[in-house]
Amino acid sequence: MRFTFLLLFVSLHVLAQNDPELKFIQNKGQWSDVIDFQAKVPGGRVGVSATGFSVLLLDMKEMEERHLASHGDINESDGHESNEGINGHFFRINLIGANTNAKPVVENQLDGYYNYFLGSDSCRWASNALAYATVTYKNVYDGIDFRVSSKGNNLKYDFIVQPEADPSQIKIEYNGVDAVEKIFGTLQIKTSVGTLTELKPVSYQQTELDQHTIATEYRLQNNLITFSFPDDYDECRTLVIDPLLIFSTYSGSTADNWGSTATPGEHGTLYSAGVTNLNQGGSFPTTTGAFQPANNGGFDMAIIKYDSAGTKFLYATLLGGSNNDSPQSLVVDKATGDLIVLGISGSSNFPVSANAFDNTFNFGVPINNRVLGTSDVWDIVLTRFSSTGNRLVGSTFLGGSGNDGLNLPKQSGGPLVVNYGDEMRGDVITDDAGNVYISSVTGSPNFPIVNGFDNSFNNGTTDGVVAKLSSDLSSVIWSSYVGGSGFDAAYSIKFDNNNNIVLAGGTTSVDFPVTAGSYQTVFNGIVDGWIARIAPDGSAVLNATFTGTVSFDQVYFIDLNANGNIFCYGQTAGQMPVTPGVYNNPNSGQFVQKFSADLSTLEFSTVFGSGSANGLVRPNISPTAFLVNDCDNIYLAGWGGFVNSDLNYWNSNTFDMPITNDAFQKTSRGSDFYFMVLNGDASTLVYSTYLGGNSSKTHVDGGTSRFDKFGIVYHAVCAGCGFGNTTGRSSSDFPTTVNAKSRQNLSTNCNNAAFKFDLSSLKAVFQTNSIDLSKPGFNNVCFPDTIVFQNFSTGGRTIQWDFGDGTIVNQISTDPRVLQHRYKFTGQYRVKLKITDLSTCSQTDSTIRIINYLYPNLIVGPDAIICEGKNHQLTASGGATYQWTSSDGSFSSSLASPFVQPNEPTFYYISAVDANGCSKKDTVLIGVVKNVRAAFQTYDINFSRPGFNNVCYPELIRFKNQGNNAESYLWDFDNGTKVPQTKTDTVSIIGDFEQEGAYRVKLKAINPNTCNKADSVIKVINYYRNTVKAEADFQICEGTSHTLVAPGASVYDWFTADRSFASSSASPVVQPKTTTKYFLNTIDSHGCKNTDTVQITVISKVELKWSHRLDGNCSDRPSVIVQNLTPPVDGVVFRFDFGDGTISEETALQHVYKQDGHYPVKFTAQKQFCPSEESMTLPIYSLFVPNVFTPEATVGYNDQFEVLFGKDQLAPSDVGIPVQLTVVDRWGNQVFESANYNNDWTGKGISEGVYYFHLKVGDFATCKSWVHIIK
């Protein structure tokens, strides 16, 4: 975790910047004994102990006022006496539950010592107190170390959670503060004298190959802090909770958003700027309260301030007018914390302040801007933002009647523009008073020149320009042209130790104002680079030189070391000099040079890049950032590839650049960023790497980015663009970090990706482990084990291991990072890892661990023999942890002396670890005296059914003795039968029970030599009989059915001999045609089976044969004549039933009915109990035939010839007797005929008279007579 002291932080940071690391000074009695160390921090001091921190903060505003007042007379009216105290706030940060006995382990002793002679109490005096860079408390919680260090002058502390340790033990209490708030993942600790910020925590785990970031969050409850891990982590690896994170993130803009420039902010924050427009839709994500929340024109500047970990915007704002605007360089003013923006504007209404030096746009002739693709008139603009981004502190135009701030593009004939974005190069810096200095370019002959060393435009197309403005941008303090009669531009500006201004750029002017005695006084080629040193008041060029070849050369960046030497970084297409002893890549297009402070001497010069075999020199990258740190180490950054070559700039790429083995990204896809570190004399390539995506073409849209003095580059990049993208569209392929503000390009084209990349980290870290790498932190080693040392250091070119026993191993960074070592003797060894990297200011770092090489002192109990079924206690002592396992894998225990109960002789293996971490393995054999055991199994007679305990008559049962370890056996079958057996008698016994019942069969096994002497077992044998019977035989009449019955079974199987019938029903219905035997198989509820039969005798029908007829005349009722024609059968009785109560057994007879009607006539035969019967219903009616009818004489009465039956005078159709009628006249002519007469002849059509008819009634009467028709 990292504390950032916000209260008047800047002024104290400036005072401490030459000595940035905190010094943890040991407490030798000069302070309270509740702390072990104390360090001064901006605004106060911090005490350190195993249980946390004690913090005292002072009112820095009041201190500053006192400081200023000390330079003049005391003003009594201000309320301050000279001896009045200063307000402060004391509070504690407590580690709740921490081990108060944890001892500090110090690392990296710092130079010097400290003496304290405070007060008159000599007991509180201390001398020779040492200071350290790092203090670690081991095991402040179980398995968790607490490490305190610093980054710059910021307090930093880590928790190192060993494998399987529980980080929930960590509880941090803020005691004595006004409030603690969690805001956007950070903690705000409020006190009476200001607010402190704890940045969002970040954790990581180191593997053999790389470092994995673990998402971590604060949990806040009542001023108590714990940590949570939303995505969990590998509990088998060491976890380091540490908030310092170098990040990479997209802006997350949904509008097109390009990347141009970036700079470090306070406390590791990052400012990034580019342009945005709404041509492709979307919007730029400005923050609440932003100075300009919406786009005002075409391209507007888009400015973002990120937190130190890149997880969120601190603010995001737009800046621009109604036309096009673009940023070129950013810098944070150390005096105020304000952000200074240098850019160009084509907007007449660009936002300027009321007191601006120039609040009016200076119109001129439009010129094409190749980067933005627009044609505009351009002015330089300078804007000062407050640190919160919501207020414009100052803003001004700066220019004349020509174009200002825009280098003449290549497409317009500009020879200085050779990279995409070169037309928008410029630089801005501030001094201690907040005054603003710029280096740029102008095409204006009337540029506002004030008190300059060159007040006249030099009649070339462009001149370089340098200017100093007041802090509020209301005035130009001095300014000057820089150049000659050709093309000139100034790209970079710095201060030397005497506050002189150092400039650099490019020129085609042979008359550029170089000074006598400089390194190169003659213009050499197409374009030369130049460097100049200007007096602090801008009145004179103190020193100036060309640097170049007969080809193209240009200086883009300069920096100075503590001795005032001037370093430059640029491009060449010629053969720049390569001085002896420097690292170089021949025929390469990037150069680095070091000059004396007066520019008279070239101290070294070298080139780097991909080189060429044919001698053709072509730059690979466009320079974007440059640093010489306090150790003279040289840091360089740039990009190259497709965007340059495709747009007709340098036709080159980033393939084959020199890359070190520890590079972050070792391969290039041709269009990547490139970072490089050289040592101070350029003799060694310290580090180099690529950085880029896998599909988009990395580039910068003009502008500068910066390194901080720690070697961390703060950079903006135009990332994920659709132009040249191998996916054919925008992408999110530029590498980003976990928890970044946005890990995606959300626009349809580009996003400004901002990143911090640390090129100078150096931290010695190693971990001990077992030979199988299963015990990280393996510091207590047992003789004769081998210990593994894993190098997890960050950085380090050369590596030295000192194992404390006289063994020293020297390595380089490419050697294996895992070593094994075995000590010859027990004892305590001090192992030291020292790493060296000349690219860092510290150059070396080391860490020490104590290894204890020990003998284990573990005792394991003896072998034993136990009775089967009895417990036994295994014993072991001397260990801290134990692990018992059995040879069959059925048992495990972590107890020292667990109980076991083996059934067979068993080996028990123990692995124990003592308090020193030493382990021992041993084996204990537990023998088992087996008990005598009785056991038997039942089977059917064929041994096919084991467990045959339910037996059905007449089955037999086998009893098989399965006992063991017996000398003799005794069977008791519970039916009076007992059978002895010897242990050698293995024959099974056949049981035959006669009666149904449940029999308790017992087998007793006897062996007096065993622990239990005897054993017995009983099984219940159920003997069943199936008593299910079918019904008795039965007789039925032919044609009738019968229900078969056999009650009491669970399963039925009825069938006939020929299987023409089968049924599983309990009571099936049958209808045999002949006498049939039915077979039955049954299974009862016990599973017992039985069989039975039943015969169904069928009494056959009598085939009846008989005759019947009616015998009648035309006037009387007919009689019935019947005759039995059936042959006589013994025992059969035949009967006629005439339906009127008359029954007769005569063979033949004629029956006369006494009344009309329909009579059923039955003929029956009775055979035993089975009758046979046939019947017929006969119409028996008297017949009435008329001799006269009067169809016309008496209408409606007697109109038809009606044949009627019975007393009810029924028509033929009513009685069902067919009537046929034929009528003829007296001459025999037929006058009517009906085959089915139904009383419908009316005599129509014939005359009255007598007619003769023939009438046939049914089949029993025929009538011939006459009828008289009267009309």
Structure tokens, 922: 């041993």
Structure tokens, 1081: 């198989």
Give the pLDDT of residue 232.
66
| 90-124 pLDDT tens trace | 889 999 999 999 989 888 888 777 887 766 666 77
> Whose CA is closest to 858, among 880, 885, 873, 825?
880
Give the pLDDT of residue 68.
37
Q: How many CA atoms lie within 13 A of 813 on its CB side?
A: 17
Phi-psi sector, 1249: left (phi>0), alpha (psi -120 to 50), beta? left
- pLDDT band per the 50, 70, 90 thresholds, residue 1149: very high
State the architecture of 1183-1269 in CATH terms: Sandwich (2.60)
Q: How many CA atoms lie within 13 A of 265 on its CB side?
A: 27
Burial of 894 (0-12, 13-18, 19+ CB in 10 A): exposed
3-state secondary structure 383-402: EEECCCCCCEEEEEEECCCC
Structure tokens, 796: 């380090």
Instruction: Centre a 10 Å sphere on the Cβ of residue 33 and count the other Cβ atoms it contains.
Output: 8
Q: What amino acid occupies position 1001?
A: V
| 654-665 pLDDT tens trace | 999 999 887 888
| 723-732 pLDDT tens trace | 999 999 999 8
Cβ distance 1130 to 997 under 8 Å?
A: no
Q: Does residue 768 surpass a pLDDT of 90? A: yes
Parallel, antiparallel or unpaired: strands 339-345 and 1261-1269 = unpaired
Report residue 95: phi and psi, to 5°. -90, 100
Q: What is the DSSP letter of 709?
A: T
| 200-242 pLDDT tens trace | 777 767 655 555 667 788 888 878 888 887 766 666 665 555 4
* Two domains, one topology: 766-854 and 936-1024: yes
State the architecture of 859-929 in CATH terms: Sandwich (2.60)
Q: What is the DSSP letter of 1241?
A: B
Cβ distance 1119 to 1111 under 8 Å?
A: yes
Strand order in the sheet with 1188-1189: 1188-1189, 1261-1269, 1249-1257, 1219-1224, 1230-1234
Phi-psi sector, 1060: left (phi>0), alpha (psi -120 to 50), beta? alpha
Instruction: Look at residue 1202 and give its three-state secondary structure.
Output: coil
Instruction: Centre a 10 Å sphere on the Cβ of residue 649 and count the other Cβ atoms it contains.
Output: 20
- Residue found by looking up tokens 């803003």 in the block: 395
Q: How far apart are CA 553 and CA 548, in angstroms?
A: 5
| Residue 1225: alpha-carbon gap to chain centroid | 121
| 616-664 pLDDT tens trace | 999 999 999 999 987 778 999 999 999 999 999 999 999 999 998 878 8
Q: Domain spanning 936-1024: which CATH class is it, in words?
A: mainly beta
Give domain limits for the chain.
Answer: 3-72+83-241, 766-854, 859-929, 936-1024, 1034-1099, 1106-1180, 1183-1269
> Whose CA is closest to 482, among 508, 510, 513?
513
Fold observed for domain 1106-1180? Immunoglobulin-like (2.60.40)
**How would DSSP label each residue in 32-56?**
-TT-SEEEEETTEEEEEETTEEEEE
| 166-198 pLDDT tens trace | 888 999 998 888 888 887 677 878 888 777 777
Q: How far apart are CA 292 and CA 302, in angstroms?
A: 10
Give the pLDDT of residue 83.
44
> Whose CA is closest to 1136, among 1156, 1159, 1113, 1169?
1159
Task: Outline where DSSP puts E strands in 954-1030.
Answer: 957-961, 968-972, 978-982, 989-991, 997-1006, 1014-1024
| 1067-1102 pLDDT tens trace | 999 999 999 999 999 999 988 999 999 999 999 888
Kindly give, in sequence order, each residue whose CB lies less than 8 Å from that of residue 987, ignoring residues fewer than 6 positions away: none
Instruction: Centre a 10 Å sphere on the Cβ of residue 49 and count the other Cβ atoms it contains.
Output: 26
Cβ distance 187 to 201 under 8 Å?
A: no
When the candidates are 3.40.50.1100, 3.30.9.10, 3.40.50.300, 2.60.40.10, the CATH number that belongs to 766-854 is 2.60.40.10
Q: What is the DSSP letter of 1242?
A: -
Mean per-residue pLDDT of the chain: 88
Q: Domain spanning 1034-1099: which CATH class is it, in words?
A: mainly beta
- pLDDT band per the 50, 70, 90 thresholds, residue 44: confident
Structure tokens, 1241: 């002849």
| 950-970 pLDDT tens trace | 999 888 999 999 999 999 999
Structure tokens, 173: 């209490």
CA dihedral defined by 219, 220, 221, 227, rounded to 10 degrees? Answer: 30
Give the pLDDT of residue 247.
64
Q: What is the DSSP letter of 209?
A: S
